[in-house]
């Protein structure tokens, strides 16, 4: 993996009430939360990122990303992203809302997942809703209900919950 600086850019929400600062998607911008970084906000704290984010450390609170989110560390809170990848050893304790493609490999998720398309090779405790396609790899353990437009489940996967396959819209 290419070495990156600890903080290449950081976007913070204005602390002043009534500030109408808008965050737009900037695909060229990357925010990196380093592996030795801990961000613990108070109640209702959030990170809003107009570009992409890599989280290698620990974040507690809402993470709202206009672009892609790559999770290598731990997030305790809701994650909203255009695209999300959770890598080997990462943990997400909170819901995930992914507007397009979700890929979770060797990770642990405790929370509900919503995505357009999803690939899961992980431990999930929560419901999964994938509008189009859901692929579940053989090492996966899913404890929760699944609603999807299309599904494939590899041999060896464990799924405990209800399954509904619905016509894609």
Cα–Cα distance measured from residue 52 to residue 61, given in angstroms and rounded to the nearest whole number: 17
* pTM attached to this predicted model: 0.83
Domain ranges for the chain, please list them: 40-165
Q: What pLDDT is stored for residue 44 in this prediction?
A: 78
Confidence of residue 98 (pLDDT cuts 50, 70, 90): very high
With CA atoms as reference, report the closest residue to 51 among 34, 33, 28. Answer: 28
User: What's CA 81's distance to the chain center, in Å?
Assistant: 7
The answer on pLDDT for 160 being more than 70 is yes
| Token output for 85 | 């990848």
The answer on pLDDT for 6 being more than 50 is no
Q: What is the mean pLDDT of the chain?
A: 88
Report pLDDT digits (tens) over 50-94: 999 999 999 999 999 999 999 999 999 999 999 999 999 999 999
- Are residues 105 and 86 in contact, defined by beta-carbon separation less than 8 angstroms? yes
Percent of the chain with pLDDT over 90: 77
The answer on pLDDT for 168 being more than 90 is no
Q: What pLDDT is stored for residue 62 in this prediction?
A: 95
């Amino acid at each position: 993996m290419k070495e990156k600086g600890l903080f290449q850019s950081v976007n913070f929400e204005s602390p002043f009430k009534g500030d109408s600062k808008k965050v737009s998607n900037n695909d060229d911008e990357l925010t990196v939360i380093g592996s030795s970084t801990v961000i613990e906000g108070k109640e209702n704290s959030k990170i809003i990122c107009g570009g992409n984010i890599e989280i290698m450390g620990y974040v507690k609170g809402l993470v709202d990303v206009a672009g892609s989110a790559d999770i290598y560390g731990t997030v305790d809170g809701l994650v909203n992203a255009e695209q999300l990848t959770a890598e080997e050893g990462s943990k997400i304790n909170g819901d995930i809302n992914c507007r397009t493609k979700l890929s979770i490999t060797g990770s642990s998720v405790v929370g509900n997942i919503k995505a357009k398309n999803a690939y899961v090779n992980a431990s999930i405790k929560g419901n999964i809703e994938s509008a189009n396609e859901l692929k579940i790899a053989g090492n996966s353990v899913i404890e929760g209900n699944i609603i999807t437009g299309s599904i494939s489940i590899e041999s060896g996967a464990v799924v405990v919950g209800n399954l509904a396959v619905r016509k894609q819209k």
